[in-house]
Structure 1
Amino acid sequence: MGTVVGIRLADGVALAADRRATDGSTVRSDDLGKLFAFDAAGAGATGSASAIQEFGRRLEDELRQLRDRQDHGPSIDALERLAGDVASETGAEAIVAAREEGIAALRAIDAEGGSVGDDVLALGTGAQVAIGGLDGVDRETGVEEAAEPLKDVLETVAERDAETGEEIDVWTLADG
């Protein structure tokens, strides 16, 4: 399963996720991309490897259809609805990010499609440890400097959670 986190910073939001894929207690890969970047939106998913991959493909398709109907990126509310539908169909959990009136925001989506918004979010097997680490991140940090503190948080999680790997990806969305 692994861990995905999201945090609101001084000038935007950042998502980070490990790359480990497990099957029970067996590590299948340390190269599974769990972050998905779209036009002015992003998502980080956790769950089984197949659920994560299907979530990313399906959400990309839904966003492409939305983009064909409107000439701008999705609002956080629209992304939340689309991701909730996809999550309930795939069994993945996700943290999504998009702008609302120029301000980047986060939402956590559970496997049943329910959602919650907050400035600090974590999902997956290392979520409890991650939340503790995220509470120590200086939220006045800008998105350009977000990679190191988020990698540090997930490296700490990886030391305590066998399903979270040490290879970390970070994605950011600035206000604008």
Structure 2
Amino acid sequence: MGEAEFLPGTTVGIRVADGVVLAAEKRVSYGLYLMSKSGKKVYRILDRMGIASAGLMADMQTLARIVEAEMRLYALDAGISPSVWTTAKLLSYVLYERRLFPYFAEIVVGGIDEGGSHLYSLDPIGAIIEDDYVALGTGTQLAISIIEDAYDSSLSIEEAEKLAVKAVEAAMKRDAASGDGIDVLTISKEGAREKNLTWPLPR
């Protein structure tokens, strides 16, 4: 069994030239139990950055608070906004320090900085991979198949957003740990905007 099979939920990230889209469904489940239909797995960090995750809700929330607090302190101390790589690397250190008793979460970090748009995925002990798109959690195989079929680096940020939603929706239809709506964070040079899409999605 792959690691993703143990991390409930579905989260995706897509990078294009104009920005980054992070999306995740809202179901919170533990084993065979549905605990909530309104879990938040996508978090805005500063103005043009965000993280999204799959795994246990408590661990995801803890990591989001740590990253946001540390990056705000960095911005105050340095007088400049941190790069996306700085944020991913900080999160990598936090995860690696807990490698013997790891956080039960996989994370994707995305955003825009002076070097352009970036997307990084991290496993529970801090390994970092930069890529154009990523899917995490129990719905990975369903979501990634949708993205791989349609992804092109020339997509507009609006097209990338639609593709991210389509990928998560596909996972929600077949993965019991995924469902109940989709949170979307779209980051472009104009800033970040959040959407909360209820299920079933309008046609």
TM normalised by structure 1 equals: 0.91
Q: CA deviation at 1:137?
A: 3.0
Deviations 1:93-142 (A, max 9, x none): 10001334341100001100111011011111111211111113343332
Mark the structure with the bigger radius of gyration. 2
Which residue pairs with 2:77 in the alignment?
69
Instruction: Tell me which of 113, 119, 122 is aligned to 1:106.
Output: 119
Which residue pairs with 1:82 in the alignment?
90
Q: CA deviation at 1:3?
A: 1.0
Alignment of 1:121-140 (within 5 A): 121-139=134-152, 140=154
What are structure 1's unaligned runs of at least 5 residues? none
Which residue pairs with 1:30 in the alignment?
37
Task: Report if aligned partners of 1:20, 1:164 keep a CA contact under 8 Å in 2.
Answer: yes
**2-structure distance, mates of 1:167, 1:62:** 30
Q: Aligned-residue CA RMSD in angstroms?
A: 1.8
Count the aligned residue pairs.
176
What are structure 2's unaligned runs of at least 5 residues? 1-7, 191-203
TM normalised by structure 2 equals: 0.80
Instruction: Tell me which of 20, 23, 35 is aligned to 1:16.
Output: 23
Task: Report if aligned partners of 1:96, 1:106 keep a CA contact under 8 Å in 2.
Answer: yes
Which residue pairs with 2:156 in the alignment?
142
> Percent identity, aligned pairs only?
33
Deviations 1:70-100 (A, max 9, x none): 2232212201111213344433210001334
Q: Is 1:46 the counterpart of 2:50 in the alignment?
A: no
SS of match in other structure, 1:136:
helix
Which residue pairs with 2:174 in the alignment?
160
SS of match in other structure, 1:165:
coil
